[in-house]
Structure 1
């Protein structure tokens, strides 16, 4: 979680494992958590999403995870840039979403 100077939550990042029965389009396998990053509109473009993403990737690496996955809408160019700049690559597509993977080794 990220908070502003007043203690108000302005962003969060998390990853969780799903199994195939959940039906998430970003499901890759039973060992690859699906990542989510969210920030409030008024803090976007200030590096908070990048900081949250990097911290979560580092924590996942320290925990021994091999990869993370996520789904991002093809039209969401700021998010696409963020993930691509951090080394995420396309694994597959699902409807209007690119399913990206980031190998952590």
Structure 2
């Protein structure tokens, strides 16, 4: 496995987070959408629009050569403008994206663990997410302690208790 490091996400990482949102949205090789289409979708754009707002937090993975290879971040939403994995006010919803060539090398797991630690340190008791049925990341989330709290025809909403 190639070495990589985690660091806190910064305001300057906004474009990279958008890249990782596109990676996350295009998890299925059979259903690929162009970057502009993903970022023009209001239900997806809300995860990166205006990054970094108060309450946002995240971690970025960098290869040993300094290239950014993945990111995991959270945002707070309220019931008037919820994200797909919204479970309640004050519960951050996370997004995880890893560059295709770095998948299945432990990057996503380390990003997820780093973000959970960051959220716990910030005083959050839970994290939520939404994951499409069939997405290979579902196994990662279950393995890291997330449980399904709601399900639709298309996706599961999952929550992890941090304390």
**TM-score (norm: length of structure 2):** 0.61
- Provide structure 1 residue ranges, at least 5 long, that are not aligned to the other structure: none
- Which structure has more strand as a fraction of its residues? 1
Hey, what does 2:71 align to over in structure 1? Answer: 12
Partner of 2:161: 103
Structure 1's 95 and 21: CA in aligned 2 closer, same or farther, altered over 3 A? farther
TM-aligned CA deviation for residue 96 of structure 1: 0.6
Structure 1 segments of 4+ aligned residues over 6 angstroms from their partners: none
Secondary structure in structure 2 of the residue aligned to 1:20: coil
- Give the TM-score normalised by structure 1: 0.93
Q: CA contact under 8 A between 1:25 and 1:94: conserved in structure 2?
A: no
SS in 1 for 2:141: helix
- Unmatched runs of 5 consecutive residues or more in structure 2: 1-59
Please give the alpha-carbon distance, in whole angstroms, between the structure 2 residues aligned to 1:9 and 1:95: 34
Residue 94, structure 1, aligned to residue 156, structure 2: no
Q: Greater RCO between the two (CA within 8 Å, min separation 6)?
A: 1
Work out the number of aligned pairs and report it.
104
Tell me how far 1:24 sits from its aligned partner: 2.0
Alignment RMSD, CA only?
1.1
1:48-63 → structure 2 map (5 Å cutoff): 48-63=107-122
